[in-house]
Amino acid sequence: MEHIPAAAWLTEAATAADQHGAGDLLRIVLIVSVVGIVLLAWFLLRGYRQDDD
């Protein structure tokens, strides 16, 4: 395994980010987070529902 200086690695990572972008990954993470929050809220709040039958 060859040794790559930190500055060269950072430059290479920044170049790769420009080419591919993090937009898709960020979009997926945000959508999954929102869906998870909604499902968690539904699961927790359904126990507080009062049935007045």
Q: What is the 3-state secondary structure (H, E, C) of 1-53?
A: CCCCCHHHHHHHHHHHHHHHCCHHHHHHHHHHHHHHHHHHHHHHHHHHCCCCC
How many domains is the chain partitioned into structurally? Answer: 1
**What is the C-alpha to C-alpha distance for residues 24 and 18, in angstroms, rounded to an integer?**
13
Residue 35 is predicted with a pLDDT of: 97
pLDDT, one tens digit per residue, over 2-49 is 666 666 766 776 676 566 667 888 999 999 999 999 999 999 998 877
**What is the C-alpha to C-alpha distance for residues 32 and 51, in angstroms, rounded to an integer?**
31
Rounded to two decimals, the pTM is 0.51
Q: Is residue 34 part of a domain?
A: yes
Identify the domain containing residue 43 by its residue range: 20-53
Residue 19 is predicted with a pLDDT of: 66
Q: Is residue 40 part of a domain?
A: yes
